[in-house]
Structure 1
Amino acid sequence: MSTSHFLSNAQTQPPVLPTDRWQQAFPLGQWGDWSKISQYSQAGDVVWISTAYPLWLDVIAQLLQAEPKRLVVALSAAPDQTEGLRAINAGARGYCHLYAVPELLQEVARVVQQGGLWVGPELVDRIVAATRDLLARSSAADQIPAPDLSALSAREAEVAHAVAAGKSNREVAEQLFISERTVKAHLGAVFEKLGVRDRLQLALRLSGRAATRAAPKPL
């Protein structure tokens, strides 16, 4: 069973320590300095690091160099797209707010443990836009098969396109006049049917060419 670890540093001013919300989210989680975390975190464990930690990008690289199967999540007190891209480029599997509620932190851990990538909708949109640009410039773009959405119901396809456009579950619910719980259920079905792990993979799957919508299943 994987464990969550928070990389702390009591020597900095102010000290880098896990928030109360992080401790609520992971009551069995561990925290400590570099020597402790690098020694006791294992493959499959989630290591959480604040962007306030000194040289945090270098530390992410060092953690993954020592154990490539560690799952690193960067936490920021003031998230922004540029910093998020730097975290993902360094090898982090997630990037979210340092003061996120415990339930959200637990969801982030579940996603990255399942092989997914957790980033905010704005960052997803930026990555997808960059991918579209690369595909447009590539001579092989026309050879990319159109994603087949025929296995999805009409409502599942609507949810898939809305999420791929970078909308949150709440925004999708408001757009389609359904509950967030229903959006989450449809999204789970979309992930399973299309064989994707997270919102970013879904967005990238739908970004290459227009999706095939032939004969969608009824609701």
Structure 2
Amino acid sequence: MNKIILADSQAIFRAGTAKVLAADDDFRIIAQCSDAERMMHAITTFPHAIVIFASALRADYSRLRPLLESVNSRGIVIAENSEIPTSYMQLGFRGVIQRNSTGAALVECVRKVCAGETWLPVHTRVTDAPEQDLVGIRVRDRLTPKEMRIVALIVQGCKNREIANRLKTTEQVIKNYLRSIYDKTGVSDRLELALFTLHHRVLAEAAADVGSRIEAEESAGSAGGGRSSKVQSITRTGT
């Protein structure tokens, strides 16, 4: 049984990675971490493990590498799609998997590293990018603005009730929209939807942009509400 530590700030991606690995009887996930410091603590607590961590955590590699060696553990980096995988191998990590890699590639990578080997993507994803971008573009263009707002909040890890509250509608309406979104993307649940979105750069960027706009609208609404209350208070005081 190979012990696995997962570390990624994106909860939905971390859940997807755990789901893929948990399906294999040879892997046992013993810790999940949302930041670099928690990961460091887990590495110390659970030696002889395979540590799969996202480059986005911005861990201190000068601390991480010696720590892994001291507890006889091995590191696998989840690199962003725009990054060069070989740069992490040069830092001494044993494997690199990219965000847009398949579940099968992830399992193969972990198996190789568990066996004491190293693993890199068979080729850089540059040649695949146009096809993947076309998929992302096609799905992005098929989604309505309301559907894209729901996708953006799904990627953030929001549940239906929270999405309904933030978009000022009902849970039933959100469920109806989700059925349409699932049909357009070819997925069967919210986890697959989030992973599908993150795996396609164009769609992920669109969702991130919409998510930022939603947060800006909410901030502006809160500020406006505060100003309105203040004006009402002044008006009452004046009268």
Higher-helix-fraction structure: 2
The structure whose Rg is larger is 2
TM-score when normalising by structure 2: 0.41
TM-score when normalising by structure 1: 0.45
